[in-house]
């Protein structure tokens, strides 16, 4: 009963406008007195629990009404944030508004119930905005096709699987269009994520054959997180291509490395010397370049293993004829590779978030 009374008082205090004020660091909150607007109590997180400066907490050492007020204030803040985030993605396709959108029932079709949204601004109703909106096939079939293709099956084998297990006839070129479309979405999403790359990078390149044409795939990897920082596709092995690879890596990571491991190609050394001259954060520290032949503990095994995965996948790409198609597929493969290293969300969640982010950016 003692706790219930204080909890109810804390809830009632939320009726007072501006009853809680967070400090600049966000670790301490000022909660207004229930009866006086001139008195504020400091509520902070200490030793694994919330503490308050009021007399009630000092005497009993349990949650007072000010702590309860703060807890419900934080809960409401999270709820408003989640609701705003959910509705923000559902931009009205008619007036491009997201602030006036509310949920309004469901629409039922062959693929199941679809949430309906109503725009109070233009007075129109529309279905949920989704990365799979307007697609003839369900998201389940599309995601299954992407998963099978990126795991090494050819386009025609993926087509046969969909027909046998889902009873849907899909042309193999349609599957390739799915791969290209959603690979771009995954790549866009990952580029916008904040990633804490380390200071030790590894660079290498390999030759790949696509429809009788030899291309060179360059890759730059962070040896600490094992994530790909940057990649390039070129027809020649030059110092200029190596420089572009490192420039893209610095741009994506937001910083220059302290140490880079490469093979004995002189183009890497030229590119890194130029990078070292351009780095002004700590000119005295410089940049350490470790180059081949690499043996023992210092090696390029991580990036070589990555190239092995890419090449085993490329062997099934007989239907890929152009450099552009190959580039889109590599974007998807690298995106999935980095997603597995992050271990945060599923592919379907990332595709939906990437689509909503693209809508908001328009």
Alpha carbon 245 to its chain centroid, in Å, reads 22
Task: Report the run of H or E that residue 40 belongs to, with start and end.
Answer: strand 40-46
Q: Where do the CATH 3.30.420.10 domains begin and end in the chain?
A: 196-343
What are the pLDDT tens digits along the chain (362 aa)? 445 678 888 888 887 878 888 876 666 889 988 888 788 998 988 877 889 999 888 888 888 888 888 888 887 776 555 444 444 456 777 776 767 778 777 776 655 567 788 888 888 887 766 667 667 777 788 888 888 887 778 888 889 988 888 888 999 889 888 888 888 787 777 776 656 788 889 999 998 877 777 889 999 998 888 888 888 988 889 999 999 999 988 888 888 888 888 888 888 888 888 877 765 544 445 688 887 766 666 677 888 888 887 777 777 666 566 677 777 778 778 887 777 777 666 677 777 777 776 766 54
User: pLDDT value at position 344?
Assistant: 61
Tell me which DSSP letter residue 200 carries: E
Report helix, strand or coil for 131: coil
β 112-119/124-127 pair status: antiparallel
Return d(Cα 65, Cα 68) in angstroms, integer: 5
Return d(Cα 277, Cα 143) in angstroms, integer: 46
Return d(Cα 112, Cα 138) in angstroms, integer: 10
User: pLDDT value at position 242?
Assistant: 92
Report helix, strand or coil for 352: helix
DSSP result, 52-94? E-SHHHHHH-S--HHHHHHHHHHHHHHHHHHHHHHHHTS--TT
User: pLDDT value at position 243?
Assistant: 92
Sheet holding 124-127, edge to edge: 101-109, 112-119, 124-127
Summarize pLDDT for 292-346 with one digit per residue, the tens: 766 666 677 888 888 887 777 777 666 566 677 777 778 778 887 777 777 666 6
- CATH T-level topology, domain 196-343: Nucleotidyltransferase; domain 5 (3.30.420)
Summarize pLDDT for 50-97 with one digit per residue, the tens: 899 998 888 888 888 888 888 888 877 765 554 444 444 567 777 767
């Amino acid at each position: 009963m003692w706790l219930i009374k204080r909890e109810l008082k804390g809830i009632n205090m939320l009726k007072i406008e501006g009853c809680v004020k967070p400090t600049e660091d966000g670790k301490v909150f000022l909660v207004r007195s229930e009866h006086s607007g001139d008195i504020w109590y400091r509520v902070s997180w200490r030793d694994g629990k919330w503490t308050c400066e009021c007399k009630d907490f000092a005497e009993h050492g349990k949650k007072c009404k000010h702590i309860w007020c703060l807890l419900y204030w934080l809960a409401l803040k999270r709820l408003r944030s989640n609701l705003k985030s959910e509705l923000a993605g559902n931009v009205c396709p008619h007036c491009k508004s997201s602030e006036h959108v509310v949920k309004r029932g469901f629409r039922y079709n062959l693929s199941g119930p679809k949430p309906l949204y109503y725009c109070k601004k233009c007075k129109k109703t529309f279905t949920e905005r989704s990365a799979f909106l307007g697609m003839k096939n369900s998201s389940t079939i599309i995601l299954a096709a992407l998963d099978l293709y990126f795991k090494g099956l050819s386009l025609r084998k993926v087509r046969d699987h969909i027909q046998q297990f889902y009873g849907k006839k899909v042309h193999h070129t349609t599957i390739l269009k799915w791969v290209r479309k959603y690979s771009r979405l995954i790549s866009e999403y990952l580029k916008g994520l904040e990633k804490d790359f380390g200071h030790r990078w590894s660079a290498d390149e390999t030759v790949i054959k696509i429809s009788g044409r030899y291309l060179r795939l360059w890759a730059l990897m962070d040896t600490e997180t094992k994530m790909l920082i940057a990649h390039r596709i070129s027809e020649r092995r030059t110092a200029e291509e190596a420089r572009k690879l490192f420039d893209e890596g610095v741009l994506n990571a937001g910083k220059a490395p302290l140490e880079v491991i490469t093979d004995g190609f002189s183009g890497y050394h030229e590119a890194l010397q130029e990078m070292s001259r351009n780095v002004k954060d700590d000119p005295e520290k410089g940049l350490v370049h470790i180059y081949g032949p690499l043996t023992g503990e210092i090696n390029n095994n991580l990036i070589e293993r990555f190239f092995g995965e890419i090449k085993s996948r490329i062997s099934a790409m007989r239907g890929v004829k152009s450099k552009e198609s190959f580039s889109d597929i590599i974007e998807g493969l690298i995106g999935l590779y980095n997603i597995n290293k992050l271990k945060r969300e599923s592919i379907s969640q990332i595709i939906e978030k990437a689509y909503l982010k693209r809508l908001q950016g328009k």
